[in-house]
Amino acid sequence: MVEYGNYKETLTTKMPLTCELKLSFRPLDLMNKWQRCGLTADFISQFETIGQSHIRTKNVLSTAVNELLENAVKFSCDKTQHAHIHITSHETKIRIEVTNHSDKQDADTLKKFLTVFFSKDFDVNTFFIKQVEKGGNVGYGEGSQLGFYTLSHNYQSQLSARITKTESPEIYKITIAIELEKESAYDHKN
């Protein structure tokens, strides 16, 4: 098992849980009904912010869930396996975890990217330009890099990941987690 960023679920001990939601998907045929990703993201953001006038939180939460879910669907090697979304809401933060299973090649590419992303040498200023110049349509590490970068850089969220071997040497369990500030804290920082 390898972890990147501050993956450990410290929020639950630091801040009382105010709300929790878990969803599982199978089969992962969402590529054929792609709008389900956005529909799920919009549902979760509305569920989490219901009764609140937190428009920014709602928008950022939907954006983040959609991006993570799209990646999980695109890079799941076995569409008959589950993908999981786990959302926990706390006083000032929301944690989103998305888990899927990928093949060794995609897992290795992702590991390489995350190693660079969390290194001191990661060049924030040139990364975005290099990524969009590539034009997209590439593998997990590469295809998801722009999404991870924008979530981390644009929304002041904390990105982390855990990659675990499974019983099959060719299949890896991948969990990407992000922690977002809720609206009051977000607005205060901006």
- The residues that touch another protein, with contacts defined as CB under 8 A, are 31, 34-35, 37-38, 56, 59-60, 62-63, 66-67, 70, 74, 128-129, 131-133, 135-137, 144, 146-147, 150, 153-155
Is 97 in contact with 85 (CB distance < 8 Å)? yes
Cβ count near 147 (within 10 Å): 18
Query: Whose Cβ is closer to another protein: residue 28's or residue 171's?
Result: 28
Place of tokens 């975890």: 97
Query: Whose Cβ is closer to another protein: residue 65's or residue 87's?
Result: 65
Q: Work out whether the CA dihedral 59, 3, 7, 21 comes out positive or negative.
A: positive
Query: Whose Cβ is closer to another protein: residue 60's or residue 163's?
Result: 60
CA distances from 161 to 37, 42, 49, 123, 183 (A): 21, 23, 25, 20, 24
Shortest separation between residue 50's beta carbon and another protein, angstroms = 18
Query: Whose Cβ is closer to another protein: residue 133's or residue 167's?
Result: 133
Shortest separation between residue 37's beta carbon and another protein, angstroms = 7
Shortest separation between residue 105's beta carbon and another protein, angstroms = 19
The region that residue 83 occupies, defined by phi over 0 for left and psi between -120 and 50 for alpha, beta otherwise, is beta
